Amino acid sequence: MQTDPSPRREIGVFDSGVGGFTVLHELREQLPTARLRYLADTAYAPYGNRSPDEIRARSMAISEHLIAQGAELIIIACNTATAHAIEALRARWPTLPFVGTEPGIKPAVAATRNGRIGLLATPATAASARLRALIERHANGREVVVQGCPGIVDHIEAGDLDSAELRSLVARHCEPLRAAGVDTALLGCTHYPLIEPLWQAALGPDVKLLRIETAVARRAVDLWTPASDSPALHIETSGDPAALRTWIERVLGWREPDVRSWPAAL
203/218 same-domain check: no
Same domain, 122 and 160: yes
Residue 138 carries which side chain, given as an amino acid letter?
H
Mean pLDDT of 108-116: 97
Confidence of residue 255 (pLDDT cuts 50, 70, 90): confident
The binding site for substrate consists of 15-16, 47-48, 79-80, 190-191
Task: Tell me, rounded to whole angstroms, the distance of Cα 142 from its chain centroid.
Answer: 25
- The answer to whether residues 94 and 219 belong to one domain is yes
Catalytic positions: 78, 189
Burial class of residue 91 in the structure, from the number of CB atoms within 10 Å of its CB (0-12 exposed, 13-18 middle, 19+ buried): exposed
**1 lies in some domain:** no
Confidence of residue 263 (pLDDT cuts 50, 70, 90): confident
**Same domain flag for 205 and 231:** no
Amino acid letter at 237? T
53 plus 177 within the same structural domain: no
Q: Pick 210 or 266 by higher pLDDT.
A: 210
* Nearest of 179, 100, 177 to residue 134 by alpha carbon: 100
Residue 237, in any domain of the structure: yes
Per-residue pLDDT at 262 exceeds 80: yes
Q: DSSP state, 250?
A: I
Whether 266 maps to a domain, the answer reads no
Is residue 7 pLDDT above 60, yes or no?
no
With respect to residue 42, please indicate whether it lies within any of the assigned structural domains: yes
Asked whether the bond before 46 is cis by omega within 30 degrees of 0, the reply is yes
What pLDDT sits at residue 2?
A: 41
DSSP state string for 112-154: -SSSEEEEEE-HHHHT-HHHHHHHHHH-TT-EEEEEE-TTHHH
d(CA 29, CA 258): 19
56 with 115, same domain?
no
- Per the structure, the count of domains in the chain is 2
The residues near 29 (Cβ < 8 Å, ≥ 6 apart) are: 217
Residue range 26-83, pLDDT digits in tens: 999 999 999 999 999 999 999 988 999 999 999 999 999 999 999 999 999 999 999 9
The answer to whether position 38 is within a domain reads: yes
Domain of 224, in residue numbers: 10-101+214-261
Same domain for 220 and 96, yes or no, is: yes
User: Based on the domain organization, do 137 and 171 belong to the same domain?
Assistant: yes
Do 123 and 178 lie in a common domain? yes
Contact criterion met (CB below 8 Å) for 103 and 216: no
pLDDT value of residue 227: 74
Q: Residues comprising the binding site?
A: 15-16, 47-48, 79-80, 190-191
> Is residue 227 included in any domain, yes or no?
yes
Same structural domain, 201 and 120 = yes
The verdict on residue 2 lying in a domain is no
Neighbours of 102 (CB within 10 A): 20
Question: Domain holding 116: CATH number?
Answer: 3.40.50.1860
- Least confident residue range of 106-120, 180-194, 248-262: 248-262
> Strand 35-40 vs strand 184-188: parallel, antiparallel, or unpaired?
unpaired
Whole-number pLDDT of residue 256: 65
In a shared domain, residues 54 and 71? yes
Mean pLDDT of the chain: 93
The answer to whether residue 53 is domain-embedded is: yes
One domain for residues 109 and 207: yes
- Within 10 angstroms of residue 238's Cβ, the number of other Cβ atoms is 24
Contact (Cβ atoms closer than 8 angstroms) between residue 188 and residue 177? no
Question: How crowded is residue 242: how many other Cβ atoms within 10 Å of its Cβ?
Answer: 11
Distance CA 14, CA 162 (A): 25
Task: With a cut of 60, say whether residue 127 has pLDDT above it.
Answer: yes
Query: Which residues, in sequence order, are CB contacts of 204 under 8 Å at separation 6+?
Result: 178
